[in-house]
Every structure is written in structure tokens, then in C-alpha cells.
Amino acid sequence: MKPETLVEAAGLHRRFDVSAPWLNRVIERRPRQILNAVDGVDFRIARGETLALVGESGCGKSTVAKLVTGLIRPTEGSIAFMGDRRRIQMIFQDPYASLNPRWRVADIVAEPIRTLDRARPTPEVARRVDELLETVGLSPRDGRKFPHEFSGGQRQRISIARALAGEPEFLVCDEPTSALDVSVQAQILNLMKRLQKEFGLTYLFISHDLSVVRHMADVIAVMYLGRIVEMAPKAALFEAPSHPYTRLLLDTIPDLTAPRRDRAPMAGEVPSPIDPPKGCAFQPRCPIAEARCTRERPEPTPRPGGGVVRCFART
């Protein structure tokens, strides 16, 4: 039986006008400049599962997160959420910047409850805040403190408690562990896995770290310059990556069994999304690019083991 879809994106585009002011363009005879942050993204997330979106900085991952949560609107395409839109929450990358430094932790965690259920009595809200703090491994006494009194990992636990306060079905996690030490990362990831199982949560998990993604994801979508170049179940992608960009990303993961293995460095830099390459966006850096890659954009094709890949060499 096919799992129930909770979130589905179809033909998602987001363009930003980054042109100079009109008068400057007229005087300097410069055209308008349009940045293609998200360029035709399609995905579906089944209820209770985790879709991980991975790629280098600047590939459009965080823009997708903002589109899914409704913080910005798509230029084209659609996002369907088969649930209550109020039950979408987000966990941000920097646990300190996302918490109000002037508020006590109890007020931070209570804010979603008071916003979504204004009729709930204050004592009941306080009890719920205490429960949430205990759920994420903190003490109810911590509610009287301010964010600056906590470590980075503890602040991220507060962020998770605040997200849970809205009783979410779906959580968008934008690099939730990248600002933390490695040992603390493991604690937060294990907490998120436990909460997913306990509350039946669905995750869109955004990261540039494939070792983190390997621990969290059910399905992985590899993003490059605004497009998903490969998407597959986790096991299939790690065992047999089809896209050359995916293989290069996987080669960056440290291997304890072969710490001195030769690894080919990824050539060049990510092209500008204002003036992307013709044809396949990855072709200027691709070790197996051919003439066709400079003229045509590959469309999604089925890959071995399930999923899709955009690569002429794999068709």
C-alpha cells in the first residue's frame, strides 16, 4: 500500500529581482537581473517520513524551506499540504538568533500555544510548557531562564520545544545541527528521531552534511543550482549514486576504513544563479560532461533502485 502523501511540490520556481535601481540601469544601460533560486522542483513527502534536501551552500535549499512554510510565495508552481496549515512548524539553523533574547524560555515555548489557542487558561499553558521542556530533555526550572544562559545544544532543544508547542504534523528543519559541536549534533539528531516516532512527525530535513542525512532521511533529494538532480530512497542513493554530483558529494564523507584514500576534488565553483550555464547546470564542473550537456537540460528519468535522476549519461 502506497504511503499517504502529506506534502507535495509541483513545478516549484522562485525568482528574485536583484536588479540595480531603475535610474542606475537607465544611466549605465544595464539590464534587469533575475536570480533563479528555485528552478522547477518537484517532490512528495509521505506522512511520517523524512525527505532530506542536500547540496552546497547557495543551491536553493533554504529557499525551498521558506516556500514550503509559506514565508515566501512561489513565482510558479504549487505546494499542496494535505493537513492543517497551522500545523507546520520550522526549526532554524542558528538556535540563538531564532530565540528572543529578552524573553524567558517559558514565554518563548508558550507563544505558539497562546497564538493558536487564545482561550486556553494560563495554568494549563504553564503545565504544557513544563511537559514540553521535559520532552526535549530540559527541566521545568529552565523555563525561568533566558536563552543566553544555555549552551548551543540546549538552545536548539528549546527551539524544538517551541516547535512542538504548535502540535505540528510537519516540521521543516533548516540545517538544525550545523551550528553545533559534533557530539551535540548526535544528541539533537537522536532526539529528533525519537520525537518523530513518538508524535508521528513528518520532516523536511535540509543539510549539506551527508553523514547527518544518512542518519535522518528516508528519501534524499540532491539539489544543485535550484534543481533536484537526483532523488532516491536513502539506501539506493548511498549504495549506487547515479548523478556525478551525488557521487562527488558522497566522496567528501570521511571513511574510517580508508582514511588516506584518494579523493578527486570537486572542480570549480557553483555558477551564479543569475546567469546559469546553458544546458545542464552541472556541466562546467562535471567530469563526464559531453557536447549534449552544453545544449540541453536533462529531464528526470527513472534510476536503478527507485527514484529519478537528471543526467544524460544515466539515460
- CATH number for the domain harbouring residue 55: 3.40.50.300
Whether 157 shows a pLDDT value over 90: the answer reads yes
Q: Is 254 domain-assigned?
A: no
Q: What is the mean pLDDT of the chain?
A: 91
According to the model, what pLDDT value does residue 179 have?
81
DSSP assignment letter at 293: G
Instruction: Note down the domain range covering 56.
Output: 5-83+169-242
According to the model, what pLDDT value does residue 24 have?
92
Contact 294, 278 (CB under 8 A): yes
Give the pLDDT confidence of 273-298 residue by residue, as tens digits. Answer: 998 999 999 999 998 999 999 999 99
According to the model, what pLDDT value does residue 270 have?
80
Give the pLDDT confidence of 51-110 residue by residue, as tens digits. Answer: 999 998 889 999 999 999 999 999 999 999 998 888 999 999 888 888 999 999 999 999
Q: Is 99 domain-assigned?
A: no
Q: How far is CA 218 from the centre of its chain?
A: 14
Number of domains the chain contains: 1
Whether 315 shows a pLDDT value over 80: the answer reads no
Q: Is 46 domain-assigned?
A: yes
Q: Is 209 domain-assigned?
A: yes
Contact 178, 145 (CB under 8 A): no
Measured CA distances, 169 to 38, 129, 180, 297 (Å)? 25, 19, 25, 36
Q: Is 190 domain-assigned?
A: yes
Measured CA distances, 120 to 113, 125, 144, 167 (Å)? 8, 7, 21, 14
Q: Is 183 domain-assigned?
A: yes
Q: Is 123 domain-assigned?
A: no
Q: Please indicate whether residue 261 or residue 186 has the higher confidence score (pLDDT).
A: 186
Q: Is 250 domain-assigned?
A: no
